[in-house]
Amino acid sequence: MNCNMKHLSVIMIFLLLASPVTFSQTKLAESIFDVLEVTSKPVITKGDPGTESNLFGFEGGRALKFNNEYHLFTTEINGSPVWNKTRLAHWKSCDGEKWTRLSTVFESSGNFDGTDTHACLWSPMPTFDKSKNCWCLTYVAYRSKPNDEEAWYRNYDGRIYIAYSQVEGQMGIYGPYKESGLLLEPGQKSANWEGLMGVDSFFPYKLDSIWMAFYGSSTEVNGLASANNLSGPWERISMNKPVSQHTENPIVTQLDDGKYIAFFDGCGKFQRFGYMLSDNGVSWSAPVIIDLEAHTGKWWGLTRTPLGLISAGNGLYTLFFTAYNKNFYNVPGIWSAKSDSVFDGYFASLGKIILKIKKS
C-alpha cells in the first residue's frame, strides 16, 4: 500500500468515528464507460436447463470470476405469491454464455402470514473471508404477508444474515453453506430514513483494515455501515441521511485504477441500472445511468439488477444483469394488485454486457 492509501485509511477511520457523517454528492458529467457489446439474447432464460421450476426468473445477487470460471449466486423467484417464494441458487459457466445450475443454497419457507423471518430470501452476496479462510454468503431474509390498503407487505421487516461454507479454503465456494449469524436488523438502532422493508440489501467490501457495507431500505435508499470483522458486529454510520436515493442493491468493485464503483438497480425512478464512483470508498458521487434502451437487439422490457463488475484487464469489464421481458411499472396499480395474475407471462432473464473505460 502506498503512502496516499495509508493516509486515506486514517481519514476514513476518522469519518467512521465522527458524528454526524456527511457524504458528497458530486454530479458526474458523463459515463466513464463505452458499451462495447450487449448480448443479443439472454444467456440464461426461461426454458434453459436448470430453469424448469423457476416461475418468474432471476433477480439480485452477485456474479464473479473465480478459478477461471464464472460463478453466479442469485435469487430465483420460483413460486407464488410472487416475490414471496424464493430460493438462493448457485450457477457456473466456463465462458459466461452457457451456464449450469449447480445447487440450491437455501430456499425460503414461503410463509405468508408474517410469522416467519425467513419467508422470503434475496440478494445472496458471496465474499471470501480471509480471516476465517472461508467463503461466506450475506443475504436478506424477510417476513411476508398479503398487502393491505396502506402498505406493501410482500417483503417487509428485512434482516441481513451471514452463512459460511462448511468447506474451508477457496474451493469452499461450492458449499454447503450454514447460516451462522445476524448482521443487521430493523429496530432501535435503525436510521430515521429506513422504512417498512427493514434492511433490504447489503454488500460488504474491504477498505484496508476495516469492512464497509452499503445497506438499503425502502424506499430505494442506501446508507453505509462498518465493522472490524466481516462477521460483525456491524454499526450503521450514515444515521442522519442516506448516502444515495433511487439506487437499490449497490455492489461495490474496485476498478483497475484503484477507484471504487458501485453498480445499482435504478428501480422506478430510472428504470435502468447505473453506478456511483468513489475515490476512497466512503464519499460517493451522484448516480450515473447507463442507457441501453437504444440497443438494436434489445430483448428486455425492464432491466433490473446489475450483478457486479468483473475485470478482464486493459480497462475491459464484464457485467451480468437481470432483466424482465416486460416492464411491470407500466401495469396500473402493480404494487397493490390483489392477484398474481398481473404477472402472468413475466420472466426475468440473465444478460451480459462488455464495458470499456473511456480514454481520458
The residue type at 195: G
**C-alpha–C-alpha distance, residues 322 and 303, integer Å:** 6
The CATH architecture to which 33-330+341-357 belongs is: 5 Propeller (2.115)
Regarding pTM above 0.85, the answer is yes
Beta carbons of 261 and 274 less than 8 angstroms apart:
no
pLDDT tens string for the chain (360 positions)? 333 333 444 445 445 444 444 444 444 458 999 999 999 999 999 999 999 999 999 999 999 999 999 999 999 999 988 899 999 999 999 999 999 999 999 999 999 999 999 999 999 999 999 999 999 999 999 999 998 877 889 999 999 999 999 999 999 999 999 999 999 999 989 999 999 999 999 999 999 889 999 999 988 999 999 999 999 999 999 999 999 999 999 999 999 999 999 999 998 899 999 999 999 999 999 999 998 988 888 999 999 999 999 999 999 999 999 999 999 988 887 777 777 888 889 999 999 999 999 987
Q: For the CA atoms of the chain, what is the radius of gyration?
A: 19
For the chain, how many residues are written? Answer: 360
pLDDT at 243: 95
Q: Please spell the DSSP secondary structure of 48-59, one letter per residue.
A: STT-TT-SSBEE
Beta carbons of 198 and 180 less than 8 angstroms apart:
no
**C-alpha–C-alpha distance, residues 224 and 203, integer Å:** 10
* Helices (H) then strands (E): counts for the chain: 2, 21
The set of cell numbers assigned to 345 is 407471462
**C-alpha–C-alpha distance, residues 84 and 74, integer Å:** 15
Cα angle, residue 267 at apex, residues 263 and 269 outer, rounded to 5°: 110
Residues 6 or more apart in contact with residue 8 via CB below 8 angstroms: 208, 280
- For the chain, the structural domain boundaries read 33-330+341-357
Residues 6 or more apart in contact with residue 328 via CB below 8 angstroms: 302, 334, 342, 343, 346
Instruction: Give the end-to-end CA distance of the chain in Å, rounded to a whole number.
Output: 25
266: nearest Cα among 286, 237, 239: 286
